[in-house]
Amino acid sequence: MLLAKRTGASFVTVLKPTGLRHISPTTWKKYEAILQTKAGASSKDNQFTLTTTSPGTVWLQQVSLFPPTYNDRPNGNRPDLMRFLAAMKPQFLRLPGGNYLEGDTIAQRFDWKKTIGDIAQRPGHESPWGYWSTDGLGLLEFLDWCEDLHMQPVLAIYAGYSLRQNRIAAGPDLQPYVQDAFDEIDYVTGDAATPWGARRAQDGHPAPFALTYVEIGNEDAFDHANTYGARFAQFYDAIKARYPQLQIISTVAPGHSGFNPAVNHMPDLVDEHLYPSSEGQMEARADEFDHRPRSGPKIFVGEWATRLGSPTTNMTAALADAAWMTGMERNSDLVLMECYAPLLVNVSHPGTGHDPASSMQWPSNLIGYDAATSYGSPSYYAQKMFSTHHGDVVLATEAHDIPTWTWQPPPPNHSTGTAPAPPSKQLPSLFFDATRDSATGRLFLKLVNRNGTPQPVNIDITGAATVSPKGEVVVLKASQGDATNTLEYPTHIVPVSEPLEGIGPHFTRDLPPYSISVLEIETK
């Protein structure tokens, strides 16, 4: 799509399906064309060029060049990226993301009303990650994304705090933002008889979207003034009164400075984020939820990843991720939801931080892509294995004689270098959990061997009347911890399924080095 206007004395021509047309001399006009490429090699370096037949000046307000999209949705998403995500069978999408919601300043927040309607009329905004967002991916496009992948939205609403310590005091000043949240929820869930439901219908989606969870803000524990408790309470009271069916997610745990649950209300869930930079830091926390009290709110692990490997993660990260996921799955009575972050990274020009020449802003990501192709990291395949191989009942497990390895924790944060090193710790080298599908009796046993040597495991299954002698095993493995996938070698590390034989109530399984295994066993 092109929007253009004429300046100067010359007329400029642009390609149309019917040929060449003059542009109006005084107003913006939308031009669309379906372009059929000629025979030639596909390449990310191919270019689309606009030229003129005579001198002049052309103002281009919006240029949008799309290949075919997933489900052929207008202004939709790339099919290859959506196929990667669809293969994970996701249940929800947290939108519009974390810091992107807040913005560096209040003016740069995700102002959802400016992201709907004609994309040519969306003003866009500066993102907190150092790039300009056109808001071509606006609220409705996020919701369409959910519909395409059969997910529910987890709707994060702006709660009056931005990253540069801009904030809005609870009370009358915050009330317009509460009303904005009402309007946004109505846009998502309202029928066509409501003003904002009617606006969604006008924008092209008559049917309401299902919505269960609403998150108030993002990472508000970074608010140095500790104002979140009062701001949360104002949103909580208003949303629960008007939409009692919604579950409210807090970004700050009750008891944190400025958040008194007796005054500020107990949330339904708390959003926890963690980004350890070593496998030891992640694996040391793998049993964390085993010891959490069951009173209080449920847990949503809304952002997490082991940050090893760049631009996408390596096998060591995937093993640590899998260790952490066994702990979450084992405690899924408490941990209701989890989602890895970040999902996607453009690997065309890897860099660091806010380098304007870089196509990425974060070193360790799940799925890499350039303009032509894409690939999944080892962590992606670990996520997929856990997401697609599990039951609905968590089984009790216990283990004996688990091998260990020695981990040296890093110095405390902000250490001057003079503090003594923390004592070393012995961490497990083997992680596990088990679930069962109550409808079929199928048992899913997940085993993670983070060592570089094979690990024989004796497995005892009790409480089952029969155990089939044959099953299936899915294995993700690598020859070394820093092995990974790339654009050039996208399937270097992928899961492999094979028959599982010789099993019964008591059997032994040899786990390969650096491996994640899911054993599927038929029981009655």
Instruction: Summarize pLDDT for 78-125 with one digit per residue, the tens.
Output: 999 999 999 999 999 999 999 999 999 999 999 999 999 999 899 999
Output the pLDDT for position 24.
54
Distance set, CA 308 to CA 42, 206, 258, 514 (Å): 32, 44, 34, 15
Output the pLDDT for position 108.
97
Gap between the terminal Cα atoms of the chain = 59
Please give the angle made by the CA atoms of 434, 435 and 441, to the nearest 5 degrees.
125
Output the pLDDT for position 353.
61
- Is the pLDDT at 12 greater than 50, yes or no? no
DSSP helix/strand/coil, 84: helix
- Is the pLDDT at 502 greater than 80, yes or no? yes
CA nearest to 386, candidates 10, 75, 89, 96: 89
Instruction: Summarize pLDDT for 232-277 with one digit per residue, the tens.
Output: 999 999 999 999 999 999 999 988 888 888 888 999 999 999 999 9
CA nearest to 48, candidates 416, 371, 491: 371
At 436, list the tokens. 């069962």
Output the pLDDT for position 17.
36
Output the pLDDT for position 10.
29
Instruction: Summarize pLDDT for 112-166 with one digit per residue, the tens.
Output: 999 999 998 999 999 999 889 999 999 999 999 999 999 999 999 999 999 999 9
CA nearest to 464, candidates 484, 434, 494, 486: 434
- Is the pLDDT at 25 greater than 90, yes or no? no
Output the pLDDT for position 490.
98
* 345/312 Cα distance (integer angstroms): 8
CA nearest to 251, candidates 214, 285, 304: 214
- Is the pLDDT at 419 greater than 80, yes or no? no
- Is the pLDDT at 444 greater than 80, yes or no? yes
Sign of CA dihedral 468, 470, 472, 473: positive
Q: What is the CA radius of gyration of the chain?
A: 26
Instruction: Summarize pLDDT for 509-524 with one digit per residue, the tens.
Output: 999 999 999 999 999 9
At 310, list the tokens. 């760049």
Sign of CA dihedral 109, 113, 118, 123: negative
pLDDT higher at 36 or 294: 294
- Is the pLDDT at 14 greater than 70, yes or no? no
Output the pLDDT for position 285.
97
DSSP helix/strand/coil, 216: strand
pLDDT-derived band at 26 (thresholds 50, 70, 90) equals low
- Is the pLDDT at 450 greater than 50, yes or no? yes
- Is the pLDDT at 413 greater than 90, yes or no? no
Q: Which domains are present in the chain?
A: 2-35+51-63 (no CATH), 71-389 (3.20.20.80), 404-410+419-522 (2.60.40.1180)
Distance set, CA 387 to CA 367, 396, 399, 479 (Å): 16, 20, 24, 24
CA nearest to 95, candidates 70, 121, 77, 122: 77
Output the pLDDT for position 29.
80
Output the pLDDT for position 106.
98
- Is the pLDDT at 1 greater than 70, yes or no? no
Burial class (CB in 10 A: 0-12, 13-18, 19+), 200: buried
Which pTM was predicted?
0.92
Output the pLDDT for position 16.
35
Distance set, CA 260 to CA 232, 265, 298, 480 (Å): 11, 8, 17, 48
**What is the DSSP code (8-state) at residue 94?**
E
At 220, list the tokens. 């508000």
Residue 109, phi-psi category: left (phi > 0), alpha (psi -120 to 50), beta (remainder): beta
DSSP string, 319-381: HHHHHHHHHHHHTTTTEEEE--S--EEE-SS---TT-TT-S-S-S-BSEEE-SS-EEE-HHHH
Cis ω before 172 (30° cut-off from 0): no
The per-residue pLDDT of the chain, averaged, comes to: 91
| 30-44 mean pLDDT | 80
- Is the pLDDT at 7 greater than 60, yes or no? no
Instruction: Summarize pLDDT for 355-410 with one digit per residue, the tens.
Output: 777 889 899 999 999 999 999 999 999 999 999 999 999 999 999 999 999 999 98
| 197-216 mean pLDDT | 98
pLDDT-derived band at 51 (thresholds 50, 70, 90) equals confident
- Is the pLDDT at 331 greater than 60, yes or no? yes
* 366/375 Cα distance (integer angstroms): 9
| 470-475 mean pLDDT | 97
Output the pLDDT for position 391.
97
